[in-house]
Amino acid sequence: MINRPKVILRRAEKYDPFLISSIIEEGIQEIGVGPKIKGRITIKPNVVMAHYLVAPSAFTRVEFLEGLIEAIKRMAGPEAKIFIAEKCGTGLPTTRMFRRAGYHQLKKKPFLKLIAIEESKKKTVWLEKGQVHKKIKTAREIVERDCLIYAPKLKTNVLSQGLTASLKLNIGLLCDRERMWNHNYNLDEKIVDLLEVGYPDFIATDAIEIACGGNQLTQPGYHLGAIIMASNPLAHDVVCSHLFHLDPKQIGHLVAASRRGYGSLNLEEIELGGDITLEELQRKTCHLSTGFIRLEKAHPRIKVINGEPYCYGGCQGVFLDWLYMIKDRKPDLWGKMPDWTVVIGHYKGDIEADRLLLLGQCTKIEGKVRARVKRRIDGCPPTHKGLVLWLFLKTGIRNPLFRLDLIVDAYFFLFLSWIKRFVTGRI
Ligand code: SF4
């Protein structure tokens, strides 16, 4: 009989590091990866962004990491060294997001080091099976490790057809320029390329509080009370997609991973274990939405005209994400949004609008254009940070992420990070 990959669903009602550590230790033993937990151990969490007011549920909680660290330190022994490595969202310095997520307190542990990937010593890895990337550059601690552990936060994400779990976590291996390169219609293959470097030995997912329904950074959290563990990332993500009532065969990066030999999309070919059933968890999530919709359906006063291509991982997805930031954190503004017509991609036809926004580098209109106000924002795709700034400057719409403390992070601290990288030669 063929061995089926195992995914363990465990009940964990609260962020208690002691409880989390014992659940994870049992999970490691049940999956049988105990012998791999040794030496130089790198943990990759999800800290795409953290902010107590506008992004309180976007990241792997520090209490979860404390429990995970406790478990693996007990199993790996005193000689083990643990690295927490991450590159947060584009245009933000990871050290600031570590601090906002409360990770700085982990630095007190003498065997542990926080690694902001963009400021670290890096290694270039040539990919044998890359379809988008022929090579990638990431932190030495990701490449030269004895054991790689992923600790995603279970969330929905409109850029990746509703789901972000362990495969999508790999985007955080890349620094900004490489990360945004081909973050468009090629996103699914790009994510799968990264599995060649970022294939975890063990995954422990923070699903005690999940986040869903809006923008991946700002969407609200909901209590689910679970920890999900596995050693096969595709099997793990297939189970997570069912948890959100999504069909894994409709999620591009899972389909691409399966096609490229990383495993099956069929739930029947995965062994489920643990003390809580998938059906019980699905009952808890049945009232939640992933927020993954066509962009033109997002807001009645934002008229979207899509040309070619439709990039849910690029312009359309990023703009939907920008709209959801407002819906999530500024509901008053959501109800009073000004009328705009937005064109994305190569469009053939005439356009008449009062206020017109052309979004994305490839956007062009083959036809007559009549508009009182016309604005353009480039990028393939534009970054979230760029959209927050340029849409404020060009349309006057103030996104909830346009705040003084985040502006200081995104410009002043980013500048300091650049100086540090320049001085240490770690560009
Ligand atoms: S610029 Fe064009 S190709 Fe690039 S992400 Fe936007 S719509 Fe897609």
Residue whose entry in the numeric block shows the structure tokens 């990937």: 117
Task: Specify the pLDDT at position 426.
Answer: 87
Q: What is the mean pLDDT of residues 262-275?
A: 97
Cβ 254 under 6 angstroms from ligand 1 = no
Q: Could you read off the pLDDT of 24-34 as tens digits, one per residue?
A: 999 999 999 99
Q: Do the domain assignments include residue 208? A: yes
Q: Does residue 415 lie within any of the structural domains?
A: no
Distance (Å) from CA 185 to ligand 1 centroid: 8
pLDDT digits (tens, 9 = 90+) for 44-70: 999 999 999 999 999 999 999 999 999
pLDDT for the residue 91:
95
Half-sphere exposure of residue 145: CA atoms within 13 angstroms, side-chain side: 27
What confidence tens digit (pLDDT) does each residue in 372-383 have? 999 999 999 999
The count of residues in the chain is: 427
- Whether residue 217 contacts residue 92, with contact meaning beta carbons closer than 8 Å, is answered with no
Domain end point (choices 285, 309, 337): 285
Q: What is the mean pLDDT of residues 1-6?
A: 81
Which atom, in ligand 1's list, is nearest to the CA of 345? 7
Do residues 127 and 202 both lie within one domain? Answer: yes
In terms of domains, do 337 and 268 share one? no
User: Alpha-carbon distance 60 to 84, whole Å?
Assistant: 12
Q: Both 269 and 374 in a single domain?
A: no
Q: Say if residue 222 is in the same domain as residue 259.
A: yes
Q: State residue 210 phi and psi, 5-degree precision.
A: -100, 165
Q: Would you say the CB of residue 344 lies under 6 angstroms from ligand 1?
A: yes
Q: Is the CB of 382 under 6 A from ligand 1?
A: no
| Bridge partner residues of 374 (DSSP) | 356
Each residue's pLDDT tens digit, 364-374: 999 999 999 99
Atom of ligand 1 nearest to the CA of 307: 7
Average pLDDT value over all residues in the chain: 97
Contacting residues for 269 by C-beta, under 8 A, at least 6 apart? 4, 5, 263
The percent of residues in the chain predicted with pLDDT above 70, rounded, is 100
Determine the pLDDT at residue 405. 97
Question: Does the residue 310 lie in any domain?
Answer: yes
pLDDT 10s digits, 276-304: 999 999 999 999 999 999 999 999 999 99
Q: Is ligand 1 within 6 A of the CB of residue 410?
A: no
Contact 414, 91 (CB under 8 A): yes
Same domain, 344 and 207: no
pLDDT in tens, 126-179: 999 999 999 999 999 999 999 999 999 999 999 999 999 999 999 999 999 999
**pLDDT band at 427, cuts 50/70/90?**
confident
d(Cα 338, Cα 354) in Å, to the nearest integer?
Answer: 11
Residue 91 sits in the same domain as residue 12 = yes
Domain harbouring 112, CATH code:
3.40.50.11440
Position 420 scores a pLDDT of: 94
26 and 157 fall within a common domain: yes
Q: Do residues 277 and 312 both lie within one domain?
A: no
- 194 in the same domain as 104: yes
Nearest CA to ligand 1 atom 2: 362
How many domains is the chain built from? 2
Q: What is the pLDDT of residues 76-104, one digit of tens each?
A: 999 999 999 999 999 999 999 999 999 99
Q: Are residues 316 and 242 in the same domain?
A: no
Please report the atom of ligand 1 found closest to the CA of residue 315: 6
Q: How many CB atoms lie within 10 A of CB 114?
A: 17
Q: Which of 179, 311, 359, 383 to mutate to test the pocket of ligand 1 (most atoms within 8 A of CB)?
A: 311
Tell me the C-alpha distance between 60 and 143, whole Å.
22
Query: What's the pLDDT tens digit per position in 321-349?
Result: 999 999 999 999 999 999 999 999 999 99
**Phi and psi of 354, rounded to 5°?**
-80, -55
Got the DSSP string for 287-333?
A: T-------GGGS-TTEEEEE-B---TTTHHHHHHHHHHHHHHH-HHH
Q: How confident is the model at residue 1 (pLDDT cuts 50, 70, 90)?
A: low
3-state SS, residue 395 = helix
Using most ligand atoms within 8 A of CB, pick from 179, 319, 322, 362 the residue to mutate for ligand 1. 362
Using pLDDT thresholds of 50, 70 and 90, give the confidence band for residue 2: low
pTM of the predicted protein model = 0.96
Q: Is the CB of 345 under 6 A from ligand 1?
A: yes
Domain assignment of residue 426, yes or no? no
Residue 155 lies in a domain: yes
Tell me, using a 6 A CB cutoff, whether residue 181 lines ligand 1.
Answer: no
Count the neighbouring beta carbons within 10 Å of the beta carbon of residue 107.
12
Domain-embedded: residue 337: yes
Asked if residue 256 and residue 386 are part of one domain, the reply reads no
Quote the domain boundaries for residue 314: 295-406
Instruction: Give the end of a domain, one of 285, 309, 324.
Output: 285
Summarize pLDDT for 32-50 with one digit per residue, the tens.
999 999 999 999 999 999 9
- Residue 93 located in a structural domain: yes
Phi, psi of 242 (to 5 degrees): -65, -30
Residue 102 in any domain: the answer is: yes
At which of 285, 320, 350 does a domain end?
285
Q: Do residues 177 and 220 both lie within one domain? A: yes
- Among the atoms of ligand 1, which is closest to the Cα of residue 381? 5
Give yes or no for residue 248 CB within 6 A of ligand 1: no
